[in-house]
Structure formats: C-alpha cells, structure tokens
Amino acid sequence: MATITFTIDGKPVSGQPGQSILKAAQAAGIYIPRLCAFKDLIPHGSCRICSVRVNGRIQAACVQTISDGMVVENDTPEILEFRKAILDMLFVEGNHYCMFCEKSGLCELQALAYRFGITAPQFPLLNPNRPIDLSHPDVYLDHNRCILCGRCVRVSQELDNKNVFQFVGRGYQKRLQVNGEALAATGLRVADRVTASCPVGALMKKRVGYAVPVGERPFDHQPISAEWHAKQEA
Amino acid sequence: MKQALTAVVEDICRRYGNDRTRMMDIVIAVQRRLGCISVEAMECIANAVNSHRVEVESVVTFYSFLSVKPRGKVIIRLCKDIVDWMKGYEEVADAMAKELGVTMGETTADGALTLTHTPCIGMSDQAPAALVNDVVVPNLTPERGRQVVRELRRHLDPPQLVTMLGDGNNAHPLVHAMVRNNLRRRGPVHFSDFESPAGLEAALKRSPEEVVAEVRASRLRGRGGAGFATGMKWEFARNAPGQKRYVLCNADEGEPGTFKDRVLLTERPDQMFEGMTIAGYALGSDAGIVYLRGEYAYLQAFLEHVLAERRRRGWLGQDILGRKGFNFDIRIQLGAGAYVCGEETALISSCEGLRGDPKNRPPFPAEKGYLGCPTIVNNVETFSAVSRILEKGAAWFAGMGSERTTGTKLLSICGDCRKPGVYEVPFGITARELLDLAEADNPGAMLIGGPCRQMIGPERFSGRICYDDLATGGAILIFNRARNKLEIAEHYLDFFIHESCGHCTPCRVGLVLLKKAVHKVVSGAGEPADLDYMRRLSYIISQTSRCGLGQAAPNPVLGALENFKPLYADLVSDRKRGLLSTFDLSKAVVDSELRVGRLSRYV
C-alpha cells in the first residue's frame, strides 16, 4: 500500500491511506492527548481533546484522516490552551472529587489534568445533581463522574455485541442511559469488556476499589503518554 | 390495555416495514395515536424493528416534539423567538396561562391542554404565533389567546380554530391554514412564470454530465447559507463509488427569523420537486427525500398531494417523461423539533431514524451520506433555482446578481418594520436598500442571516448581501434603536444551548459557561476582565466545536461585543481588588442559615 507522508509540528510522519492523524501519530510515538478515542472503536469525535490544527483549521485528530503534505500542529501554545479549556469544561460539568475517587491514579481525565498542570478549575463549577446506579451486583454507574465520551456505548455495541448503554436527551441535558430500568436489568456481566472501558470513575467494578496503594498507581510517577496508550492497546 | 397498545404499535411498525431506519415515522405515528411514546411503547417498537429500548429512547428524547410522558391532548406551543417576544409574546403567554389556569410547561388537571413554548416556527412575519398541535395560529394578541383557549376547551379540535384562510395555497383544502404568504417582491427565479415540467424537459435534452455542467456554469451556490457550489457538490456525489445515490432536500428551515422556504413550499412545490428530479437524473439516483421540519407538518398532506399528482403525470416514478430507465421518486420525512437537523449530516442522521446528531466528517455526504451512500443535500431554494437554470440556461441565471454570487436570493425580512415578508432580490443589494423596502422603523441594528451570523450596526448598513460580504441563508431581522442588543444576544445564546445536540464538549458545556458570563455582565456584576473572558471562551467554542452549530453559537455574543462595544463596556466596572463581584455576602449568610436550620447570630 502506498505510504502517506505529512508533518506534525514540522516532523515528518508517515502512515497508511485512511488512517487517522491520531493513529498515525501514535504509531510514530507522537503523543496526541485523547479521551473518547479508544482502541479500534469507531471514532467518536466528541471530547475534542485531540483537537489539532490541520492546514490551518482545527480538527479532531481521531476523525481526520491523513493526506500527503498535510501540515498538523499538535504541540503549540494555542492547542494547549484549547485542550486545557476543554478538559476543564469536563471537570466543571460533572462532580469530580479526586481525593476519594476509586479511580484516582488510574483516571485518564485526572492524568491529563496533571500532565497539563491544571491544579484548579478556571471555569465555575456547575454542580449538577446526578444519580448513582448501584442496582447491579458487580458493577456500578456513577453519573457524577461521566464525561459522555461514549466509550461504554461503543464497547458494548462493537466488542460485547450487546447494547447496554446509549445517550438520551440533548445538549446540556444529554446523559448516559442504560437499556432497562437500571443497570441490573440490562444483561450486563462483570466479565464484559465494557466494564474495563471507562476512562474515569463512572463505570466501575464493585469491591475492587483502592486495590493499588497510593504511590504505585499508573500515573503516580509517569504522566499519561503515547507509551502508556501503546501499552493499553497492545 | 397492554395488548391494545401492543397491537397499535405493531401495526404502525408494520406499516413502515418494521424498518428501524424509519424510526422517526414510527415514533411520530405512535405519538399521534397514543399521545406519547411510553416505556411500554418503546419496548414494543424495539421488539418490532429488532432494536433496543434504549436506542428508541435515545431518539425520542432528542426531539422537542416527542415525549415519553403523556401530555395534553392538545399542545399549545407558543413561539418564543425574539420577534414574537418583541411583538408581545409575554402578554399573550400570560393571558393564555391565566385562562388555562396553568403555568408555562404545564398541562391542565383534566389532561386536555398543555401550554409550552418553542423556538422559531417560521412565522416571524406574523408574530406572535403559536402551533396548536399542527395548526398555526398567527397574529396572536392577549384577547385572541384567551379566545383560542376558550374555543379549545369547548371542542379540543385545533382545525376548528381556523377561521380566516390565508392567501394563495394557504387556502387549499389540504393546507387549510390561516398563514399568510406576505410575498412582497417577486423576482425572476422563484416567483415568476415557471411551469412544470419545463425544467425537467430541458434537462432530459442533455446528458446527465451536461446537466451537472450547466449547474456548474450557473455558479449557483447553496441557498441554505453555507454557499457551497451546487454543481461541485453534485459532481462529487456523481463521481463517488456506490450502487445507490440519494437526493435530499433540506426543508428544515430553522434559523430564527427565516420563513422563505415556507412560502416556496406553499406556492412553488412543483419547482422544488422538479429540481430534485433533475438532480436525480444528473446523479443517477432513483430516490429523494424532503426533510420537512416538524413545525411545517401542516403542509405535509398538501405536499404529498403534489407528489401524487406528479406521479400521475409521469414526472415521478418509472420511466419519467417517457425516458426508459429514468426512475425517481420522493418521500417526505417529517422532523420533530430540532434546529440542529438543518445541519446536513444531522439531517441525514434523522432521515436514518437516529438522534439528530451531526456525523463526523470525513467522510462527507457526497461520498458516504444517507445509509452510507453518496448523497447530496440541498436547500429548498437551491432546488427551486435548479429548475429555472435548466429551463432558461446557466447564462441567464449567471447574468443576475453580483460577480461572485449569481442569481437572486429569497429573503425573509421581519422585526421592526412595516412590511415584513418574503422578498426575492438580486444578490448585491445593500442592507440599507432592504430597510427601505421593508419600511424599517428607526433601525439601530440588523441580524443578517439570523443568530448564527452577526448583528451589524448602522455603520455597516452599506454592506451588500452576498457570500463575500453579508452572507445569509435568508433571515433578515431588523431591530429599532430602542431594542436591547445584549438581551437579544442572551436570548439567542439560550436558543443555542437548547438546540445543541450535546455531542461535543465545547458546545455542550462551553455555551452554558458563556451564558453564565454574559448573564453576570448583563446583571451588572461584571468586571472588564469578564469581557476578555467572554471573547476567549467564545473563540475556544467556535474553534473546537464539531459542527456549524457550536462554531456559530457564540456569534450573537461576539457580534454584540465587536459591533456594539460600548454596550457591554458600560455595564462593567472595576471592583476593589480581592473582592469577588459575584459573591453576595448577605445572601450567602441567609443561604447557610437555611441549610443549617438556625440563625447565624443571636438576636
């Protein structure tokens, strides 16, 4: 197959036709931060953390396919400002309390905030009133921490061949919904691949929290990076 | 009871071939029959079309006109766009609420009537207006509002509200509406002497390639507002690999203040359908869909009748005009209250029976659109122009308008003017000329293209209507000098928040944050730094949002900030260093007292 060459921040990168900027960058060891992009799922293009400037226009790197001579800006002050703002929007939209969240230290949202040096929100907290679904014996769903990335929706559909999750409502009222009265009524099993797909602490297995001591968690010493994603996807 | 529901729902699903891509038709039909789409109905639909309840729910909860919970037998949707509001929305809303004994959003205790509001219903030239189920009630006053409620209480039959019929086809028995066309100026392209099948006959004298070439030569650009070259779009779709191709017509005219397509649909449906048929010939497509906004449901029966008539005459169907193998037909897809469906990929999603979420691009619709096939989506006015271009030639069309923007444009002019209505004008006309035509009353600002574009002040009234200067899909709103531009900007921000699909972060969350900032300034608590914050946040939202809605949503605020600088600047003042302007100490004390249940000081 013909190879496509383009540049990211001036560095030449090559990839295959039809490949997304994100995948080509990842293969070249260049880090483009992301939240909704996950393994080989159909790209969602929703979180916008992977926004890059492509030939002058802002595009989501997970969706935009590469072409010859394309000029991509990834690591620039402007793009960093966009990413920090979007991350912060995700924080203030929900209720995120890292200090006692079971996901702390392995949460991708938190890891991105650390990587970008975000210590406090720049936007006002929106403090939504959201429910927690504890109905399932082995798994729980805490809507307070949901960032609407749609990973669970797609993993359940594309990898588990089920349809446990979907979005309902629209705009700021949009939220995750399960296929039934509550999680217990959906046919979700703890062994389903979806239970390990949530980037934050929204969809969690019960009774296994805080298993890794503070100081030994994945992001305690290493920031989230292209290498970390490579390991996840291997 | 449950069995009866199952039978009704299953019957409806069967009518649509148990096809999940016809989900919009199914849920609309279920709601018409049963009043809402209950959990039981959703389960039943999911079974019939081999889907999942949560998939059905995701569709139902997306559209404003659909409901999971029962509502009144008759729903009064009062249009709450800015023009309605300027013409007395609040007084009418108060009068109707009092007469009903409910507050906005509620249903009467007997379950008969629901009063609610909705964004622009395409009647800004006869505002304030309401939709009563599908029936349009224009030119409301508080007295007329009370009268409507009293009549409805008596018969609960909205069509009986229709007393004086409108002009033209509004009086057609299948339309039967009180709507008026207010067609103030007819031009050579849309409102002239066209007779079917003149365009189609001319097209069939050419090869499909030649038809595309003719459209290219006319330099026609999309009339919905984005202005993409129509011929080029057709060529992309024509050359894209695929067995089947689709021709979609965007009749989801939702930009607040726009109503020109309503008049085309009422008076010139043949010209539009013919343009679609010509596109079918040019692209080698045999199927077209008109996506008709839910607010225009009152036109559906009439449009179906026009389609049936065209089939009868051999202008649609098999071997059209005797041309062996040229088959093309059109169906109407009704929407259900979602502005974002005017975005072409969201429109496609909705036609596929999904939530009206826009799709990721690439791939573009010309390559992979409706059901994954090459698809063109053009505006009603664009298809109408195509019929004339084929009939009278590209040179005739390109001879009108300005150098880079050929032809005429239909404008819907409304707001503070004596002659609101539809005007067909050549491109290149100045904003000031429009103010004169519509007899504007002491104009202080114009919104050219609706809230997704920018508000301009008198210093830009000399600008010209064309894609390179003042671009518009058709909306022209006029505001007199007394109008509060900041209130207008805030109103439109609310509109975009309501209409955002919620898919991407900047649009879903960013707009809510922007609204907080605007509100802080408008309420007098702002500081100069807040204006910079609003500018920066607007920039981030417009740059990083996925589709045109989020990219355009900050425009009302940016427009007010840039073109009416002193307005916001006058509202903000420097606070003492260290004092948070939004923090109200006495209110905070009262709040905490309420929460702990005791007073904070002993008295």
Q: Is A92 on the interface with B (CB under 8 A)?
A: yes
Question: Alpha-carbon distance B505 to B529, whole Å?
Answer: 24
Give how far A129 is from chain B: nearest CA, Å: 15
Cβ proximity of A43 and A34 under 8 Å = no
The percent of residues in chain A predicted with pLDDT above 70, rounded, is 100
> Cα separations (Å) of A198 from A90, A106, A162, A194?
15, 11, 16, 8
- In chain A, which residues have their Cβ closer than 8 Å to the Cβ of B511? 172
Task: Give every CB contact of residue B196 below 8 A, 6+ residues apart in sequence.
Answer: B270, B271, B274, B310, B315, B387
Supply the pLDDT for residue B486: 86
Q: Do residues B517 and B530 touch, judged by C-beta distance below 8 A?
A: yes
Contact A163, A194 (CB under 8 A): no
Q: Which residues contact B444 (CB under 8 A, 6 or more apart)?
A: B457, B458, B479, B480, B481, B482, B483
Q: Sign of dihedral through CA atoms B223, B229, B235, B237?
A: negative
- Confidence at residue B523, expressed as pLDDT on a 0 to 100 scale: 86
pLDDT surpassing 70 at residue B602: no
- Measure the CA angle with vertex B232, ends B227 and B233; round to 5°: 75
Percent above pLDDT 70 for chain B = 98
- Average pLDDT of the residues in B379-402: 97
Fold (CATH) for A83-208: Alpha-Beta Plaits (3.30.70)
Of A63, A89, A168, the CB nearest to B513: A89
* Domain layout of chain A by residue ranges: 4-75, 83-208
- Segment B190-202 shows an average pLDDT of 96
pLDDT at B50 (0 to 100) = 97
Q: Are the beta carbons of A60 and B510 separated by less than 8 Å?
A: no
Residue B576 pLDDT grade (very low, low, confident, very high; cuts 50, 70, 90): low
B499 touches chain A (CB under 8 A): yes
The pLDDT tens digits of the residues spanning B170-181 come to 999 999 999 999
DSSP string, A145-205: G-----HHHHIIIIISS---EEEES-GGG-EEEESSSSGGGTT--TTSGGGG--SSSSEEE
| Nearest chain B residue (CA) to A179 | B54
Mean pLDDT of chain A: 96
Whether chain B has a CB inside 8 Å of the CB on A117: the answer is no
A1 pLDDT tier (thresholds 50, 70, 90): low
Q: What is the pLDDT of residue A176?
A: 98
Distance (Å) from the C-alpha of residue A216 to the closest C-alpha of chain B? 32
- Interface check for B512 against chain A (CB to CB < 8 A): the answer is yes
Q: Among residues 42-101 of chain B, which lie with CB inside 8 Å of chain A?
A: 52-55, 57-58, 61-62
Rg (CA), chain A: 18
Is 0.85 exceeded by the ipTM? yes
Give the closest-approach CA distance of B504 to chain A in angstroms: 4
Q: What is the mean pLDDT of residues B43-58?
A: 97
Give residue A166's Cα distance to chain centre.
Answer: 16
Q: How far apart are CA B53 and CA B43, in angstroms?
A: 5
Place B589 in a pLDDT band, splitting at 50, 70 and 90.
confident
Percentage of residues of chain B with pLDDT beyond 90: 86
User: How much is the average pLDDT of B113-140?
Assistant: 98
- The shortest CB-CB distance from B55 to any of A64, A93, A163 is to A163
The DSSP result for B580-599, as a single string, is -TT--HHHHHHHHHHHHTS-
How confident is the model over B266-294, as a mean pLDDT? 98
pLDDT exceeds 70 at position B400:
yes
Count of CB contacts below 8 A, A vs B? 121
Q: Phi and psi at residue B255, in whole multiples of 5°?
A: -60, 120
Quick check: B510 contacting A, CB < 8 Å?
Answer: yes
8 A C-beta contact, residue A80 and residue A65 = no
Q: CA nearest B504: which of A58, A183, A112?
A: A58
Q: Do A170 and B545 touch (CB under 8 A)?
A: no
Which of A86, A122, A170 is the best residue to mutate to test the B interface, defined by the most B CB atoms within 10 Å of its own CB?
Answer: A170
Q: Does B529 touch chain A (CB under 8 A)?
A: no
Q: For A66-83, what is each residue's pLDDT tens digit?
A: 999 999 999 999 999 999
The pLDDT value recorded for residue A218 is: 92
Burial per residue of B247-273, b for 16 or more beta-carbon CB atoms within 10 angstroms, e otherwise: bbbbbbbbbbbbbbbbbbbbbbbbbbb
User: Which of residues B598 and B327 earns the better pLDDT score?
Assistant: B327
Confidence of residue B581 (pLDDT cuts 50, 70, 90): low
Look at residues B268, B249, B103, B54 and name the one whose alpha carbon lies nearest to residue B181: B268
Which residues make Cβ contacts (< 8 Å) with residue B309, sequence separation at least 6? none
Average pLDDT, chain B: 95
- Residue B83 or residue B593, greater confidence: B83
CA-to-CA dists, residue A162 to A109, A152, A179, A193, B547, angstroms: 26, 11, 10, 11, 29
Is the pLDDT higher at B486 or at B365?
Answer: B365
**Is A125 in the B-facing interface, judged by CB distances under 8 Å?**
no
Who among A43, A90, A124 is closest to B516 (CB)?
A124
pLDDT band for position B408 (50/70/90)? very high
pLDDT of B577 over the 60 cut: no
pLDDT band at B579; cut points 50, 70, 90: low
Segment B105-132 shows an average pLDDT of 97
B contacts of A93 (beta carbons < 8 Å) = 505, 508-509
Which tokens belong to A173?
A: 């009222």
- Residues from chain B that touch A170, judged by Cβ atoms under 8 A, are 61-62, 338, 340, 355-356, 500-502
Of B264-278, B313-327, B521-535, give the lowest mean pLDDT range: B521-535
Mean pLDDT of A104-118: 96
Write the pLDDT tens digit of every residue in B419-451.
999 999 999 999 999 999 999 989 999 999 988
Q: In this predicted model, what pLDDT tens digit does every residue of A24-39 receive, in sequence order?
A: 999 999 999 999 999 9
Q: What is the CATH number of domain A4-75?
A: 3.10.20.740
Cβ neighbours, 10 Å, residue B586: 7
- A70 interface with B at CB cutoff 8 Å: no
Give residue B453's identity as a one-letter amino acid code: R
A40 at B interface, C-beta within 8 A? no
Please give, rounded to a whole number of angstroms, the shortest distance from the CA of B169 to a CA of chain A: 36
CA distance A109 to A93: 13
Q: Which of residues 407-446 of B touch A (CB under 8 A)?
A: none
- Provide the pLDDT for residue A75: 97
* Nearest CA-CA partner of A225 in A128, A126, A130, A114: A114
Per-residue confidence band for B603, with pLDDT thresholds at 50, 70 and 90: very low
Amino acid at B487: E
Interface check B519 vs A, CB under 8 A: no
In the predicted structure, residue B578 carries a pLDDT above the cut 70 = no
pLDDT in tens, A212-233: 999 999 999 899 999 999 999 8
Element spanning B515, H or E? helix B511-522
Q: Is B515 on the interface with A (CB under 8 A)?
A: no
Shortest Cα distance from B533 to chain A (angstroms)? 10
- Distance in angstroms (rounded) separating the CA atoms of residues B483 and B119: 20
What residues of B are in contact with residue A173 (Cβ under 8 Å)? Answer: 502
Task: Indicate whether B583 pLDDT > 80.
Answer: no
Cis peptide bond N-terminal to B426, omega within 30: no
